[in-house]
A and B are shown apart, each in its own frame.
Chain A
Amino acid sequence: MLIRHPSDIAPSEITPREVYRHRRAFLRSAGLLAAAAGAGGLLTSTAPARGATRLAGLRQSPFSTDEAQTPYKDVTTYNNYYEFGTDKDEPADNAHTLKTRPWTIAIEGEVRKAYSIGVEELLKLAPLEERIYRMRCVEGWSMVIPWVGYSLSELIKRAEPTGNARFVEFVTLADPRQMPGLAYPVLKWPYVEGLRLDEAMHPLTLLCVGLYGELLPNQNGAPVRVVIPWKYGFKSGKSIVKIRFTATQPRTAWNIAQPREYGFYSNVNPQVDHPRWSQARERRIGEFRKRPTLMFNGYAEQVASLYAGMDLKKNF
């Protein structure tokens, strides 16, 4: 079995040479003081401070991309996690108050076998895999992140959904004592996300417990989250406490907040713009020029069939 230790690779080694060269050329041409300084910021990414528990014996996944991975430091300091503040750097500063042990997830609703499972047990439910996925935020930036977990379907199968189960709802922790952001009604708390059952059962849909070979840092959604790589990042709910199977489409946090701007599906789609900005291109964190956004974030081959015959402009 191939065991990789991605953290042994320095970010400088991960960054492809042409990106470096591009940066240098860019620096030479930079006349603006501030711009040159901004470019400097990209060159001096410091070694990340790690501390989390390492996860051993990770399997490699055929779903992984071989694109350059976004440095650990950027993955863990540039986060949207409004329960800990609406600025990107706030979750990393504030999420230390999150208590991730003990932690149980309740699996309930339209299932034959409702059950609760503790996080320690969850870690052993199925072999952990490393999956290097692209992550595209609805705001127009993207990362490549080596997640750790296994297909959510492993968890779902054990619950034996009934014939009525057509959707899955993910309910996030909402504890004002642990989460300072809950004091502000920016979104409707708790943060709820959802998928169609077939989307949730798709092998790409990841039940995620770690990144870069370690347990998830709090600001990335510890102790357990989902990752749906062909949808905008906000669909991938963090710090999940409840997974509920329903007959009707769940009402999800961003859709409640701004139904015109954030649909239930929210598949990455360069042809369907956000009402206020374009989705045709994205800035990969660490790169200067924007790159074209791919249909279903580059996972069309695997997931396009889920939406056969659907008007994706209407079901945005």
Chain B
Amino acid sequence: MACLLPLVRLAWLGAQGGLGANPIEYITRSTGWWTLSFLMITLSITPLRRLTNLNWLLRLRRMFGLFAFFYAALHFGIYLWLDQFFDWTEIVKDIAKRPFITVGFAAFVLLLPLAATSTNAMVRRLGARRWQLLHRLIYVIAILGVVHFWWLVKKDITEPVLFACVLAVLLGARLAWRMRKARTGGDTLPSAVPR
């Protein structure tokens, strides 16, 4: 429920006239920011679980991922409706011509199959291995999302840099673990030889 607070806040600000002079820009930015934040939260579950051994964290992962999709869908919907008013020729031109929109759109399209295969039934249908392989797309999506933010900012790139740092830590941790596993895996091989 707490994950809905950003949306409630926007609705409340809207009712109070607190969205500033350019409300459409404000809600577009806000939903985009929360999409990135939920992507980061989703990606932090696995490292957190490893560090703390709290296995119940894993059950939250799907919900956080779906909230990332939820805010991404709002963000994209606001762009289509309030920003462009379904002017399809403009939208197609935007997506094709503006690199920051191209990568943002790509990230959203890649999120679609992940959201669609988020149910237990879909995990079973795909098989755990294929499902996991597909869901590694989140790494690509998160990178595209941060690039999207970075490229749209006029000059003050503080926030995109912060997101990039968080993402680098989250992906770096995975890489480090994988490398260590490969190394220790290599070391354990000889010991696996019958003595």
Contact = CB atoms under 8 A, between A and B. Distances in A.
Interface of A: 32-46, 70, 73-74, 77-78, 82, 86, 88-89, 139, 141, 184, 186-187, 257-258, 273, 276-278, 281, 283, 285-286, 288-290
Nearest to A187: B155
Interface stretch (B23-31, B48-56, B119-127): B23-31
Interface in B65-123: 74, 77-78, 81-83, 85, 90, 93-94, 97-100
Contact of A276 (B14, B77, B152): B152
Interface of B: 7, 10-27, 31, 74, 77-78, 81-83, 85, 90, 93-94, 97-100, 151-152, 154-156
A40 B17 contact: yes
A39 B14 contact: yes
A88 B25 CA distance: 11
Given A34-B7, A44-B17, 14 more contacts: A32-B81, A34-B10, A35-B82, A41-B18, A44-B15, A45-B17, A73-B21, A77-B20, A186-B155, A258-B155, A278-B97, A283-B24, A288-B85, A289-B85
B88 to A, nearest CB: 15
B4 to A, nearest CB: 10
A35 B81 contact: yes
B24 A38 contact: yes
Given A277-B98, A288-B24, A37 B15 contact: yes
A285 B26 CA distance: 12
Given A86-B156, A276-B152, A38 B20 contact: no
* Centre residue among B10, B81, B82, B152 by max chain A CB count within 10 A: B82
A70 B93 CA distance: 30
A73 B17 CA distance: 12
A141 B16 CA distance: 23
Given A186-B155, A186-B156, A277-B98, A38 B23 contact: yes
Across the A-B interface, the 4 shortest Cβ-Cβ residue pairs: A37-B14, A78-B21, A44-B17, A74-B21
